[in-house]
C-alpha cells in the first residue's frame, strides 16, 4: 500500500466506491481503504428504486423487480400498481464486487483489511492488514465509512441513528410488502422484499424510539403473524445515519451514511451514497456542486421532518399511518414520494 495519494477514501461501500471510480477516471491517484476482507457484504434488504439506482447498474445484477407495492397499516391495505416496476431487489455482495471492479478498472487502488484510526494534519493514521500502524499523506480524505463513521466523529459531528434488522430467509415470497405498524415499529415499518432465491424480512425504526432488543421482539411477533418463522434465522442488525450536516469540511469530505444522507423515513441509503460519492468527487475535481445534489438533500430533509412527525407520541403515528394508506388508496398521494430520488412524478 502506498503511503501517498491525492485522495484517501475510508470505506469501500457504495459511497466510497462511486467516489473512487469518478476520481480515478479523471486521473486522480485514489486509495480506497476498507476494513473488511472484501467488498459488498452489508446488512441490507437490497431494495433499490427504479428511478434511482436501477438505471445505474447492469441489468444482470437485478434479482427481482416489482410494479406492484403492497402497503399495510393496522386497519387498511393499499396496492400501488404501476405499469413499470417501482422497486427492484439486488444482492449487496454482488453490487459491491461489481462496484469495486469498476473502481479498480478506472485506476483506483483498493486495499482491504485496512482500518482508518484517526485524521492527522497530513492525512490519516491507519492500521494496515499486517497490523502495522502507518501514516498516509494525502491532499483530501473522504469519509465513506458508514453510519458509525470514524471520520465523522473525528470532525466532531453528531449522528442520529436509525436501526434496522434483517433476515435473509431461504424462502420465496411473491409480493413486496411494507407494514406500517406504529405499535410495533413506531415511525418505521416491517418489510418483506423477495429476492431471486431468498426473501429479506426485517424492520426499521428510529433508534431513539425503540431499542434494538425491543425491535427484535416486535419483529418476531409481526413475522409470526405473517406466517413467517424466524425461529432459527440469523437476524442481523445495522444502522443508518440521517443527521446531515454537509459534505465538505475543508480538505475532509463525507459521503453516504457517514454524511447522514440516508432517508429517516424509509432507510433508503444506497442511492444517496452513490450520488453523494460522485458529487464529492466532482467537487474535489472542479469545485462545483452537481445539480442532482440539491433535490436529494431537499428530499432528505422532507423525509426527516415526516419521520419526526411520525415518531411523536402514540396517537400521531397511528393517525399518520392510516391517513397515508387512505391517501394512497384514493391515489391522492404518490408512492414515489418515499424514494430518495426526485422522479418526474415525485
Ligand atoms: C437492516 C438494513 C436494511 C437496509 N436496507 C436498505 C435497502 O433496502 N435499500 C437501501 O437503499 N438502503 C438500505 N439500507 C441502508 C444502506 O445499506 C446504507 O445506507 C448504505 O450501505 C450506505 O452506503 P455507504 O457507502 O455510505 O456506507 P456502507 O455501505 O456502510 O459502507 C461503509 C464501509 O466502510 C467500512 N468502514 C467502516 N469503518 C471503517 C474504518 N474505520 N476503516 C476502514 N473502513 C471502514 C465498512 O466496513 C463498510 O464497508 C439498509 C440498512 C440496514 C441497516
Nearest to 195 by CA among 91, 299, 71: 91
- Give the number of C-alpha atoms closer than 13 A to the C-alpha of residue 342, restricted to the C-beta side: 13
C-alpha neighbours within 13 Å on the C-beta side of residue 295: 13
Res 25: pLDDT: 98
DSSP string, 254-268: E-GGGGT-S-TTT--
pLDDT score of 232 = 86
* Mean per-residue pLDDT, 264-270: 96
Cell of 64: 427481482
User: How far does the centroid of ligand 1 lie from the alpha carbon of residue 142, in Å?
Assistant: 15
Q: What is the mean pLDDT of residues 299-319?
A: 91
Confidence of residue 343 (pLDDT cuts 50, 70, 90): low
Mean pLDDT of 68-72: 97
Mean pLDDT of 78-82: 95
Which of 61-70, 100-109, 337-346 is least confident?
337-346
Instruction: Spell out the domain ranges in the chain.
Output: 4-42+92-159+241-307, 47-91+161-240+316-338
Residue-level pLDDT at 346: 39
Please state, for a pLDDT cut of 90, what percent of the chain lies above it: 93
Residue 345: pLDDT band with limits 50, 70, 90 = very low
pLDDT in tens, 182-197: 999 999 999 999 999 9
Q: Report the CATH superfamily, name and number, of domain 4-42+92-159+241-307.
A: FAD/NAD(P)-binding domain (3.50.50.60)
**Probe residue for ligand 1, chosen from 13, 177, 202, 233 as the CB with the greatest number of ligand atoms within 8 Å:** 13
Burial of 297 (0-12, 13-18, 19+ CB in 10 A): middle
pTM here is 0.97
Distance 260 CA to ligand 1 centre (A): 11
pLDDT of residue 205: 95
Give 308-316 contacts, CB < 8 A, sequence gap 24+: 308/187, 308/264, 310/182, 310/186, 310/187, 310/265, 311/186, 311/187, 311/206, 311/208, 311/209, 314/182
Ligand 1 centre distance from Cα of residue 163 (Å)? 12
223-248 per-position pLDDT tens digit:
999 999 898 899 999 999 999 999 99
Task: Measure the CA–CA gap between 116 and 123, rounded to whole angstroms.
Answer: 11
Atom of ligand 1 minimally distant from the CA of 202: 1
Residues 6+ apart with CB under 8 A from 149: 10, 11, 143, 159, 241, 254, 257, 258
Query: How confident is the model over 141-172, as pLDDT tens digits?
Result: 999 999 999 999 999 999 999 999 999 999 99
Q: What contacts 295, CB < 8 A, 6 or more positions away?
A: 342
Query: Ligand 1: which residue has its CA nearest to atom 2?
Result: 44
C-alpha cell at 51: 428511478
Mean pLDDT of the chain: 95
CATH number for the domain formed by residue range(s) 47-91+161-240+316-338: 3.30.9.10
* 256 has pLDDT over 80: yes
Domains 4-42+92-159+241-307 and 47-91+161-240+316-338 share a fold: no
Amino acid at each position: 500500500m502506498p503511503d501517498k495519494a491525492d485522495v484517501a477514501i475510508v470505506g469501500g461501500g457504495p459511497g466510497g466506491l462511486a467516489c473512487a471510480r469518478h476520481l480515478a477516471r479523471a486521473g486522480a491517484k485514489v486509495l480506497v481503504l476498507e476494513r473488511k476482507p472484501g467488498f459488498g457484504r452489508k446488512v441490507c434488504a437490497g431494495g433499490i428504486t427504479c428511478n434511482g439506482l436501477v438505471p445505474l447498474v447492469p441489468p444482470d445484477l437485478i434479482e427481482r423487480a416489482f410494479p406492484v407495492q403492497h402497503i399495510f397499516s393496522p386497519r387498511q391495505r393499499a396496492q400501488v400498481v404501476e405499469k413499470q416496476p417501482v422497486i427492484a431487489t439486488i444482492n449487496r455482495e454482488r453490487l459491491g464486487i461489481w462496484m469495486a471492479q469498476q473502481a479498480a478498472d478506472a485506476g483506483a487502488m483498493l486495499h482491504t483489511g485496512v482500518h482508518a484510526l484517526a485524521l492527522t494534519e497530513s492525512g490519516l493514521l491507519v492500521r494496515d492488514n499486517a497490523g502495522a500502524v502507518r501514516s498516509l499523506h494525502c491532499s483530501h480524505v473522504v469519509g465513506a465509512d458508514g453510519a458509525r463513521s470514524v471520520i465523522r466523529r473525528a470532525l466532531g459531528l453528531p449522528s442520529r441513528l436509525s436501526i434496522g434488522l434483517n433476515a435473509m430467509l431461504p424462502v420465496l415470497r411473491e409480493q413486496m410488502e411494507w407494514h406500517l405498524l406504529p405499535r410495533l415499529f413506531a415511525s418505521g415499518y416491517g418489510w418483506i422484499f423477495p429476492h431471486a432465491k431468498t426473501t429479506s424480512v426485517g424492520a426499521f425504526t428510529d433508534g431513539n424510539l425503540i431499542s434494538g432488543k425491543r425491535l427484535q421482539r416486535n419483529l418476531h411477533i409481526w413475522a409470526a403473524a405473517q406466517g413467517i418463522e424466524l425461529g432459527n434465522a440469523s437476524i442481523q442488525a445495522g444502522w443508518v445515519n440521517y443527521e446531515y450536516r454537509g459534505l465538505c469540511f475543508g480538505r475532509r469530505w463525507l459521503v453516504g451514511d457517514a454524511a447522514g444522507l440516508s432517508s429517516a423515513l424509509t432507510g433508503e441509503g444506497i442511492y444517496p451514497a452513490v450520488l453523494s460519492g460522485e458529487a464529492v468527487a466532482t467537487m474535489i475535481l472542479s469545485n462545483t456542486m452537481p445539480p442532482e445534489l440539491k433535490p436529494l438533500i431537499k428530499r432528505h430533509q422532507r423525509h426527516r421532518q415526516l419521520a419526526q412527525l411520525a415518531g411523536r407520541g402514540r396517537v400521531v403515528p397511528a393517525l399518520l399511518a392510516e391517513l397515508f394508506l387512505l391517501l394512497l388508496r384514493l391515489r391522492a398521494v404518490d408512492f414515489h414520494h418515499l424514494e430518495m430520488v426526485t422522479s418526474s412524478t415525485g
